[in-house]
Amino acid sequence: MEQANPLRPDGESKGGVLAHLERLENQTSRSRKRSEAQAQERVLGTKIQKLRHLRDDPRAALWHRRGSVKACIANVEPNRTVEVNEQEALEEKLENVKAILQAYHFTGLSGKLTSRGVCVCINTAFEGNLLDSYFVDLVIQKPLRIHHHSVPVFIPLEEIAAKYLQTNIQHFLFSLCEYLNAYSGRKYQADRLQSDFAALLTGPLQRNPLCNLLSFTYKLDPGGQSFPFCARLLYKDLTATLPTDVTVTCQGGEALSTSWEEQRASHETLFCTKPLHQVFASFARREKLEMSLVS
Amino acid sequence: MDETVAEFIKRTILKIPLNELTTILKAWDFLSENQLQTVNFRQRKESVVQHLIHLCEEKRASLNDAALLDIIYTQFHQHQKVWDVFQMSKGPGEDVDLFDMKQFKNSFKKILQRALKNVTVSFRETEENAVWIRIAWGTQYTKPNQYKPTYVVYYSQTPYAFKSSSTLRRNTPLLGQALTVASKHHQIVKMDLRSRYLDSLKAIVFKQYNQTFETHNSATPLQERSLGLDINMDSRIIHENIVEKERVQRITQETFGDYPQPQLEFAQYKLETKFKSDLNGSILAEREEPLRCLIKFSSPHLLEALKSLAPAGIADAPLSPLLTCIPNKRKNYFKIRDK
């Protein structure tokens, strides 16, 4: 860069001087900025150090305390094997508690506290068979409400909740248990009929979602000459697993012999008093017995 | 086969995309396996359709068969319709619901046929205890219009039914009456809930949008969620506002849960409120009448969008309860008035 020469002719020298002045100005502003930046850096540096202290001091204190606690424990129990035994004992206790919590399933009603309320689990059973489980997640607020659930849509959960949830939660849970257990029981009977005794049915089993209206035709001797029976089972009590109304009719042949009439009436009574699959089991046994007698 | 029926079947099959054709035809179960095997599905669509119509003619497809095919197409393309939700109620002291599907179908059909001589009613039951009903409307003097049917999905032994929105509003009261009487209810009311996604509506209405429940057998306790701030990051880098980020995450998780949200496309708020302002003597504050305005939030997946607002920093957490109450109140139409 050419040095400013004051001996140059006028126009050039002004340019030279002004340029020089500009350079000097820039230099001073740069150095000022630099010193400002440095000062800021220093200030921030001290701030960072202060914050680090704020963070590290409690941390150090914590480590210190942990160390001293460990030392204390070590002093109190110098024996390592005793520590291990305690650990094992605690683990065993934990397993025990877990097992007890699992066993609660067999009581039919169990629950677990959640962050906003409780999640109730209803395990249904029928005749000693453990069937489906249903959950209801309750939010404990005023008013108490159901957040979500896995109860089938055709169980009148809303009705039961409207009646009891706000006033008597025990009643709500027991009522719901009743409905769900009864539904599970009816469903179990209908499923067993369809799967185990299909041979005795002459047509498909008609059922509805709640399994409270069942309609089917059956024969005592499949492939035989007898007329099939038509049965229609109504379960008007949704908390029961036995039907409230049973109608058995005989297809074909208006004039029924007395023996057929007796059979028909006895079937009606059977369906009213015993679970469906058990009635069919007795039919199947009877059939076997008769076959063995004939042959 | 009637010409109108043939035309109807043809138009329905034309709507079906080629890659779904075999699935839908199998579900229809009208043409036999042998018949279907004779069709070359690799041809141009028009030729395939011609061949299928020919087979349907051979088998003498009726209007009912055609209507059934239409139902199946709609079941596969539920999202093309907008669905409203209706809730029925029984009178006090009503008998227990002994639902008989045959009785329901007969009763439903009879009520509609008695009112309008010309109406086509078809049913298809599904495995989830729901019955799809298709109604093609006519009048006393005109034949039913097969191209503008209404669909109703009724979950038996529940008070809920879902109906496809249609422009023909005048038949809605009759449809409501038929449904109510046939299902042995007393009253029917339209809920303020509407969406294209039938599954989501079902999940909201039956409160089954979350199928995970806390039990003592759950594998792990509620885990600390990582905020996407990886552990791989240099430990000398600390997020200054981590406390706030964690608070927002916690509140979002409490409000929306960890499960996928049901899918809605919009939420609409009708406001009729008086203007509230801190400035005294503004013209609007002096206004006696309430202001009326309509606010609509739209999204391909509204609830997921709302869930992501606070974590993205766009809105404060907690969100307004007017937005977060949508699944719980089972509404996406709101009317807000001054109390």
What is the tens place of the pLDDT at every residue in B84-94? 999 999 887 77
A88 vs A258, more confident = A88
- Residue % of chain A over a pLDDT of 70: 89
What gap in Å lies between CA B171 and CA B194, rounded to an integer? 19
Using the beta-carbon criterion (under 8 Å), do B97 and A210 form an inter-chain contact? yes
Mean pLDDT of B120-149: 91
Secondary structure class of B335 (helix, strand, coil): strand
Q: What is the pLDDT of residue A26?
A: 92
pLDDT attached to residue B221: 45
Write down the CATH number for the domain with range A106-184: 3.30.457
Q: From chain B, pick out residues whose CB is under 8 angstroms from the CB of A210.
A: 97, 99, 157
The answer for residues whose C-beta is within 8 angstroms of residue B69's C-beta and 6 or more apart is B9, B12, B13, B24, B28, B30
- Contact call for B222 and A102, based on CB within 8 A: no
A153 touches B at CB < 8 Å: yes
Going by C-alpha positions, the residue among B67, B81, B291 that lies closest to residue B198 is B81
CB-based contact, A166 to chain B, within 8 Å:
no
Query: What are the chain A neighbours of B155 within 8 Å (beta carbons)?
Result: 153-154
Tokens 């095997």, located at residue: B37
Query: CB distance from B23 to chain A under 8 Å?
Result: no
Q: Does A236 touch chain B (CB under 8 A)?
A: yes
Which residues of B are less than 8 Å from A145 in CB distance? 328
The residues, ordered by sequence, that sit 6+ positions from A199 with a Cβ below 8 Å of its Cβ are A222
The rounded radius of gyration (Å) of the Cα atoms in chain A is 43
Do B222 and A209 lie within an 8 Å CB cutoff? no
Tell me the three state secondary structure of residue B12.
helix
Query: Do A208 and B209 make contact, defined as CB atoms within 8 angstroms?
Result: no
Question: Nearest CB to A101: which of B207, B209, B216?
Answer: B216
pLDDT band at B220 (very low <50, low <70, confident <90, very high): very low
**Which one of A114, A154, A236 has the shortest CB-CB distance to B129?**
A154
* B224: confidence class by pLDDT, cuts 50, 70, 90: very low
Angstrom distance (rounded) from CA B24 to CA B216 = 44
B32 closest CA partner among B55, B49, B14, B63: B55
What pLDDT score was predicted for residue A10? 53
- Smallest Cβ distance to A112: which of B99, B160, B215? B215
The whole-number pLDDT of residue B36 equals 86
A-chain residues within 8 Å CB-CB of B252? none
Average pLDDT, chain A: 85
- pLDDT over 50 (residue B226): no
Residue A236: the pLDDT is 92
Q: Which pLDDT score, from 0 to 100, does residue B217 have?
A: 66
Contact criterion met (CB < 8 Å) for B99 and A213: yes
Pick the more confident residue, B197 or A294: B197
Label residue B71 by pLDDT band (50, 70, 90).
very high
What pLDDT is attached to residue B146? 92
pLDDT for A76: 62
| CB nearest to B216's CB, from A102, A116, A237 | A102
Residues 6+ apart with CB under 8 A from A62: none
Residue B17 reports pLDDT greater than 50: yes
Q: How close are the terminal C-alpha atoms of chain A, in Å?
A: 129
Is 60 exceeded by the pLDDT of residue B293? yes
Q: Which one of B100, B158, B213 has the shortest CB-CB distance to A137? A: B213
pLDDT of the residue at A12:
52
pLDDT digits (tens, 9 = 90+) for B173-189: 999 999 999 999 999 99
Does the pLDDT of residue A1 top 80, yes or no? no
Hey, are the CB atoms on A209 and B213 less than 8 Å from each other? no
Contact with chain B for residue A205, Cβ under 8 A: no
Q: How far is A122 from chain B (nearest CA, A)?
A: 11
Q: What Cα–Cα distance (Å) separates residue A283 from each residue in A57, A197, A230, B4?
A: 84, 10, 15, 53
In this prediction, residue A151 carries a pLDDT of 93
Query: Measured between beta carbons, which residues in chain A are less than 8 angstroms from residue B98?
Result: 208, 212-213, 234, 236
* Residue that is written with structure tokens 């820039």 in the block: A26
Q: Nearest Cβ partner of B101 from A146, A149, A208?
A: A208
CA B208, CA A132: separation in Å to the nearest integer? 17
The token pair that represents B8 in the structure block = 């109807």
Q: Which CATH class is domain B241-335?
A: alpha beta
Answer whether residue A221 shows pLDDT above 70. yes
Residue with tokens 């020298």: A13
The DSSP bridge pattern shows strands B291-298 and B266-273 to be antiparallel
Distance (Å) of CA B8 to CA B12, B13, B124, B235? 6, 9, 18, 69
The answer to whether the Cβ–Cβ distance between A236 and B207 falls below 8 Å is no
Q: What are phi and psi of B203, to 5 degrees?
A: -65, -40
Contacts of A154 in chain B (CB under 8 A): 129, 155-158
Distance CA A26, CA A5 (A): 20
What pLDDT does B128 receive?
A: 81
For the record, the structure tokens of A246 come out as 């049973």
Evaluate if residue A78 carries a pLDDT over 60.
Answer: no
**Is the model's pLDDT at A39 over the cut of 70?**
yes
Do residues B65 and B1 touch, judged by C-beta distance below 8 A?
no
Rounded mean pLDDT of A85-103? Answer: 86
**Is the model's pLDDT at A244 over the cut of 60?**
yes
Structure confidence at residue B74 as a pLDDT band (50, 70, 90)? very high
Mean pLDDT, range B13-36, rounded to an integer: 90
pLDDT surpasses 50 at B168: yes
DSSP A206: B
Worst-scoring range by mean pLDDT, A59-63, B115-119, B125-129? A59-63
Q: Are B150 and B175 in contact (CB under 8 A)?
A: yes
For testing the chain B interface, which of A137, A138, A154, A160 should be mutated: the one with the most B CBs within 10 Å? A154
Per-residue model confidence (pLDDT) at position B223: 46
Name the architecture of domain B81-204: 2-Layer Sandwich (3.30)
Which residues does A203 contact at the CB level (< 8 Å), separation at least 6?
A216, A217
Domain spans, chain A: 106-184, 187-293
Domain range summary for chain B, segments of one domain joined by +: 1-78, 81-204, 241-335
Amino acid at B206: F
The answer to whether A162 contacts chain B (CB < 8 Å) is no
pLDDT attached to residue B233: 61
**For testing the chain A interface, which of B88, B89, B95, B98 should be mutated: the one with the most A CBs within 10 Å?**
B98
**Is A144 touching B (CB cutoff 8 A)?**
no
Helix ranges restricted to H, B41-100: 45-58, 63-76
At residue B94, the 3 state secondary structure works out as coil
Q: What is the mean pLDDT of chain B?
A: 87
Share of residues in chain B with pLDDT > 70 (%) = 93
pLDDT at B169 over 90: no
- List C-alpha distances in Å: A136 to A102, A140, A185, B34, B208: 17, 12, 20, 50, 10
pLDDT for the residue B63: 93
Which one-letter DSSP state was computed for residue A105?
Answer: G
| Beta-bridge partner residues of B195 | B83
On whether any CB of chain B is under 8 Å from the CB of A47, the answer is no
* pLDDT of A232 strictly over 50: yes
- Does residue B197 carry a pLDDT above 90? yes
Encoded tokens for B257: 């849960």
pLDDT given for residue B152 in this prediction: 96
Mean pLDDT across B241-247: 86
**Local structure of B85: helix, strand or coil:** strand
Least confident of A196-200, B175-179, B189-193: A196-200
Model confidence pLDDT, tens digit, residues B268-282:
999 988 877 777 667
